Structure 1
Amino acid sequence: MTEELELLRQADPVSADEGPWRDRPLTARAEAGLAALTSGAAPPGRPRPVRRRRLLMGLAAASSAAAAALVLTFSGATTSPAVAAPAALPVRAGAPSVSLDVLARRAEAKARAASAQDGPRRGSHLQSWYMSMESGPDAAPPVTVPEERITSWNDDGSGSELVVATDPRHPGRPVIHDDDGEWQTVSDGKVLHRKTYPAGSEALHSGLAGRTRPATDAGALREQLSWLYSGAGGTRTTPELLSALSSFRQEWTPGPRETAAVVRMLAGADGLRQAGVVTDRLGRRGQAYVYDGPDGATNSTRQMVILDPRTGDLLGLEITFTRDEPEFRIKSGEVMSYEAWMP
């Protein structure tokens, strides 16, 4: 019963700024709402509202087409313009690349050479670009919010969380910040959230996912992702699997054995194809694997996974729009979200 209660608590929507559950992927109810907003339908018995939605989805997408940048200037803030929609990462399809199966074998060889101390670490280091959008006749243009987030936990149960407004593509320039639904620009490097936890705190702040050590077998790991991070939907489809993988990566930094399981799991995912070589937003060279099939909502996105070609480590996840969404003032090729993972 305890585990069932934990799952129910995780499924219950919470504040975007609350504790370790902050910035989780959309729940099934939220996904249904998103589908209604983007398809023109409204839930039965309710009018369709004009609302602001911040998309915090843990999928990935890429397009070789360059996206037009939307530029906003905020009154009362700096006069320097703030970029609202970064271009999708270009994929070099002609460059030498490897299949997921080959990369899985490389990761498995590295896992076999790993020591007992090379296990997973609770916590993560993430650079993210999430697009926030409004709908309705008076909707403002979409805005991309760049942040860096570091979460760590120690053996004694102490830990820390740090969130900084920063965009490594444009160091020193103002950074867009969402302050309770009000847009403003802040200085690059401004600390948005900092908290430390004393010894013994991890048990109080960790959900079931945080207390469940990740599996080192691909099949077992996919099953874990399904029941820990995907709610009722599971990981039946590749977009659902990528969303769950993003949530998992926000909780854990995998070691070589867990990384090998991740790559082998992706090698068995339906519709995830080898796309070429890409340089990610932190300047790292990676192998790109793209899913451009049905996404379960509006079928208007492409997802891309970027992996380290030597180790199989997850470097990035990107979602890109593949068609215009006029209600949200979105153009095809613009980036919905991007996540860059670091050790």
Structure 2
Amino acid sequence: MKAIDEVRQLLGGLDPTRNTGPAEDARHERDLARILSVDRTAGAAGRATPRRRFVLAAAAAGVVAVAGGAVAIGIDRQPQPAYAATPALLDYGPPASAEPASVRLRRLAAVAAAQPMPPRPAGTVEHLESANWFLNSSISGGRTASAVVPQQWESWRSDDDAGRMVRKDLPPIFRSDVDRRQWQKWGGRVDSSREVRDYAAGEFYRGFRGEVPTDAGVLRDWLRAGTSAPPAPVQYLEDVAQLAGIRLLNPAQRAAVLTLLADLPGITAAGTVTDRAGRAGEAFSITSDAHGLPAQYTVIVDPRTGTLLGYEEMLTTTAGKLNVTIPAVITYRSYLKAEYASMPR
């Protein structure tokens, strides 16, 4: 149990989550079952965390490297587990326009900027919800064991950066009984769990504090404040994905986000798509090996409002020693709600 907890702490951190009672929990679990039912022959990586860096190249070396340290978990010598369960790939259609991605994103930025400001009743705060999926994997001695960790996130944030974050982990999903037995042998949980953290003024989240800039250039610097220079343009796309999960963005801020994406080298139009929540969107991607293994990083945008609907990471050509089938979705985030609401008591 100690080893599993250490990995979850290093790769995990607390993010917003959803807990809405038995009826909503059942709905989320049905949605997850639908997502996973089509194709369970891919996936593996660390769980996403605020400004985390999971170095995919470490998989080839049999070690998970995090923030300058490393954790290696041994696995008993036994037959290699089957390929890990992951969601089915989304079905992408042709791009909405023959325009380059940079041009199309600027048009969507204009759409975003033209939207009305959302109403804000007195005494309310930023309230966000999302459904997320991550694959936890451990590698040692050429062996890999994995558990799908579906999560529901929910957060509330006040203007003075006080707030609450809640994360609910649903029961892990395994591709094989071998993985399940190994996971349980380590002491890993197999049921639901819920974690709540409250933050005093100025303590909410460790990044993205204060007003989100409405100028793309200023936003670019703001996203990386207090960090070293990013190793590749894809870092900004990842930062935007993190931002959309914890901050309510007004029309001008959404426009700045899309303009920033338009300026990223290597951004391409991946096509039109129905996201995992059943919403129509346009997808834009960067393919990069900046974190080790070649992967495609994708954001999905609502063409009617310029709102970010989702984010995905997918291994494209090789998985190193991860027990996945290529191509493999290794992370997704589905942004379900961004509104003003009362702070929970």
Q: Report the TM-score when normalising by structure 2.
A: 0.67
2:111 — aligned with what? 106
* Contact 2:15-2:167 at 8 Å conserved across structures: no
Q: Which residue of 2 aligns with 1:79?
A: none
Name which of 136, 141, 153 aligns with 1:149.
153
Residue 195 (structure 2) pairs with residue 193 (structure 1): yes
Relative to 1, partners in 2 of residues 1:176 and 1:304: Cα closer, same or farther, differing over 3 Å?
same
Which residue is equivalent to 2:89?
88
- Once the two structures are superposed, the pairs formed by residues 101-140 of structure 1 within 5 Å of their partners are 101-110=106-115, 113-114=116-117, 122=126, 124-137=128-141, 139-140=143-144
What's the CA shift string for 1:95-137, capped at 9, x where partnerless?
A: 6687212212211222xx437969x965632211111112123
Tell me, yes or no, if structure 1 residue 161 matches structure 2 residue 165. Answer: yes
Deviations 1:64-110 (A, max 9, x none): xxxxxx989xxxxxxxxxx8211221211266687212212211222
Structure 1 segments unaligned to the other structure (5+ residues): 1-12, 53-69, 73-82, 167-173
Query: What amino acid does structure 1 have at the position aligned with 2:128?
Result: S
Q: Does 1:238 align with 2:233?
A: yes
The aligned amino acid for 1:87 is A
The answer on whether the counterparts of 2:164 and 2:204 sit within 8 Å (CA) in structure 1 is: no
Which structure 2 residue ranges, 5 or more long, are not aligned?
A: 1-7, 17-47, 75-80, 175-182, 339-345
TM-align CA RMSD: 3.8
Change (3 A) 1:96 1:242: closer
Aligned residue pair count: 275
Percent of aligned pairs sharing the same letter: 23
The one-letter amino acid of 1:242's match is: L
How far apart, in 2, do the equivalents of 1:274 and 1:261 lie? Answer: 18
Quote the residue 1:76 is aligned against. none
Q: Is the 1:162–1:191 Cα contact (8 Å) retained in structure 2?
A: no
Q: Does 1:280 align with 2:279?
A: no
CA distance in 2, matches of 1:50, 1:220: 40
* Contact 1:273-1:290 within 8 A present in 2 as well: yes
Alpha-carbon spacing, 1:148–1:109, altered in 2? closer, same or farther (3 Å): same
Matched residue of 2:289: which SS?
coil
Question: Structure 1 residue 203 and structure 2 residue 208: aligned?
Answer: no
CA distance in 1 between partners of 2:190 and 2:134 (Å)? 15
Q: How does 1:169-184 map to 2 (within 5 A)?
A: 175-176=172-173, 182-184=187-189
**Aligned residue for 1:57?**
none
**Would you say 1:317 and 2:315 are equivalent positions?**
no
Question: Within 2, Cα distance between the matches of 1:218 and 1:19?
Answer: 28
Residue type of the partner of 1:89?
L
Determine helix, strand or coil for the equivalent of 2:202: helix
- Looking at structure 2, the residues matched to 307 and 238 of structure 1 have their Cα atoms a distance apart, in angstroms, of 19
